[in-house]
Structure 1
């Protein structure tokens, strides 16, 4: 069993403005391991959807969550925090776009069935590639993986022959030596009319002969190249994160202001109701003893009483809403409620 102390070490708690700020940072992906990755926002929306279905979120939480979604959108719109690839698989896709422009209708071959190659293939499928071909030492594994992408499987012996028909090759095998050499790729290029061929070697040790890169219209990137792209992009995202943090701080202050006004609203309503009730009671009592007033005069008297009521309320209202260095808002609310006896109904209108 897990002890309370063990659980306590895995959780944290924020209150008031710190809680608002933390939620906005999470939604804007500034609190993620990979800054700028949008996946966490989807998880947050899913959690909120679940809470809404179970009717466990009230007025404040609803507004807070909706505001966190708009803060995330503002960060994405006003900064470039999500513009650059910061994962190996996504970096491979970005490089492919630079070579081909549009990845639609391009054909992809996966050599091996490594997790990173699979992730890269998922990103490429998301960009609209026409087909995914999977080559693996074990044909059964190739068939299983190809079904995930509605593609087809081939054996490693068919590898060189298939180079004529694909545009992007992602290699991630556990082979101890090279599986494709320059001499394997060179003869294929005339057969494909020297259309560009993009190789991504994310195997360690390398699967592909570095000399392949010497061939015209052939582009080879290995894991070190991709890591360099990722590190450069991470640095760029860190710069954008400074702008994003400013937006989060701005929105935190705005929402905190709204929340503080929400806290004083019940007291303002109670105070206004009490004063209005006293004024109306006294007005009715006075008018009941004076029969000679015309309708116009009665109207003027009612307006005067309303003006007196507003002037009486002005300073207490300002006291509740203003920022005081020495007295926090909850203390101010308590002071006003005690001063005007708002929590004892019998005394409110006497």
Structure 2
């Protein structure tokens, strides 16, 4: 049996291509049903996110596995097989294991060390279990991949510190306020970066959201997305006194928030901090505001500098994550090899038990005058003798399974104990 992992990601294909190979929830179920019905594919899992679409199968051989996945992907894509194959990568056996472990650890993500992929792997795993397309090998592989991902994040700094502009803003806000619970946030403009930063702030405890935009309907749409309130553009100045965090991303050619505006409201704020995140180019917020007491203003370059510094720290952890992955791949290899020894060990023990029973029956026919208690003593004795005799051969068979060219050694055990011929009897 061969483990085959095949797919495409943000490194191999643009978002336009990835959109054409994405799976809806229903399509994932339909594709898993096709996997379940295929006679040369024994197991399958579909991992589909915005940045990757990957299919993992246990197949009779490499060729059958890759042909099946290519056909399956093209079936649920607008691309034909020839065009699709230009963007695909394929991994087999331990290379496939290594790839999945890297994905789970965040080493293969667009943002190094991001955590969201772990939940996505778990969801793919759970769906495959629900659809009954997963068995021993992929069950073990995906269980271990989730453990590897957790180990990478718990034992290294691969996911520490913000690694995106929006997360950098959240990190700075947390440092300033300690907690984002009960903080009031004002959004100026409704650009994509503002939306993403707002989402991350809300995910970290912000509940009170105001949105202002020159087009009021756009402000209302964004406010509704976060259970917030839209305000008119002319209301900005009067609202600033009650605001804790301002995110600004407009297309204005001049400063919207000026030094004199903020200086005027500070006496009424007591010692409450005021935090500005200026994501606009050109800038919306006069930078000198940062010089005011308890006022913090960061523009997009400031946030990018934080991200770059944090990514350097994350990159230092890559070496340690790879060490974890290397050890865990070796452990998976040993587990998989040990499975080759299981049928031999079962046959060996079955043979020994049959011989033990035959000899016990023969002995008991000659010992008519012994009672049940004495018979049990003899049964226990023979059982212990067999177990002790088989202990070392069992251990050795397991070790043979992890030797290169192990089939030669395992076949030797088969012949030594004549297991094949006894199975035929």
1:66 is matched with: 143
2:336 is matched with: 259
Report the Cα offset of residue 194 of structure 1: 5.0
1:224 is matched with: 301
2:75 is matched with: none
Alignment of 1:166-245 (within 5 A): 166-193=243-270, 195-245=272-322
Matched, 1:43 2:144: no
2:229 is matched with: 152
1:131 is matched with: 208
Report the Cα offset of residue 215 of structure 1: 2.0
SS of the residue 2:89 aligns to: coil
* Distance of 2:221 and 2:323 partners within structure 1: 47
Greater alpha carbon shift after TM alignment, 258-267 vs 299-308: 299-308
**Cα–Cα, structure 1 residues 96 and 291, in superposed 2: closer, same or farther, change >3 Å?**
closer
Question: Residue deviations 1:10-62, cap 9 Å, x none?
Answer: 33333333333322222222221212111111111111111111111113322
* Distance of 2:250 and 2:408 partners within structure 1: 67
1:203/1:223 contact within 8 Å kept: yes
SS of the residue 1:221 aligns to: strand
Pairs aligned (count): 347
Which one of 85, 88, 91 corresponds to residue 11 of structure 1?
88
Report the Cα offset of residue 118 of structure 1: 0.9
SS of the residue 1:220 aligns to: strand
1:89 is matched with: 166
TM-score (norm 1): 0.88
SS of the residue 1:170 aligns to: strand
Report the Cα offset of residue 273 of structure 1: 0.6
Which one of 171, 194, 216 corresponds to residue 117 of structure 1?
194
Question: Residue deviations 1:136-179, cap 9 Å, x none?
Answer: 11100000100111111112222222111101111111222222
Matched, 1:77 2:170: no
* Distance of 2:258 and 2:142 partners within structure 1: 54
Instruction: Give the strand-richer structure, 1 or 2.
Output: 2
Q: Which runs of 5+ in 2 are unaligned?
A: 1-77
**Cα–Cα, structure 1 residues 207 and 319, in superposed 2: closer, same or farther, change >3 Å?**
same
* Distance of 1:105 and 1:315 partners within structure 2: 66
2:247/2:279 contact within 8 Å kept: yes
2:340/2:401 contact within 8 Å kept: no
Between structure 1 and structure 2, the one with the greater Rg is 1
Matched, 1:141 2:218: yes
Which fold has the larger relative contact order, with Cα–Cα distance below 8 Å and residues 6 or more apart in sequence? 1
1:320/1:329 contact within 8 Å kept: no
2:10 is matched with: none
* Distance of 2:106 and 2:334 partners within structure 1: 23
Would you identify which runs of 4 or more consecutive aligned residues in structure 1 move more than 6 Å?
A: 295-301
Report the Cα offset of residue 103 of structure 1: 1.6
The two structures, once aligned, show a CA RMSD in angstroms of: 2.8
Alignment of 1:16-27 (within 5 A): 16-27=93-104
**Cα–Cα, structure 1 residues 2 and 104, in superposed 2: closer, same or farther, change >3 Å?**
closer
SS of the residue 1:133 aligns to: strand
SS of the residue 2:110 aligns to: coil
1:88/1:230 contact within 8 Å kept: yes
* Distance of 1:292 and 1:163 partners within structure 2: 102
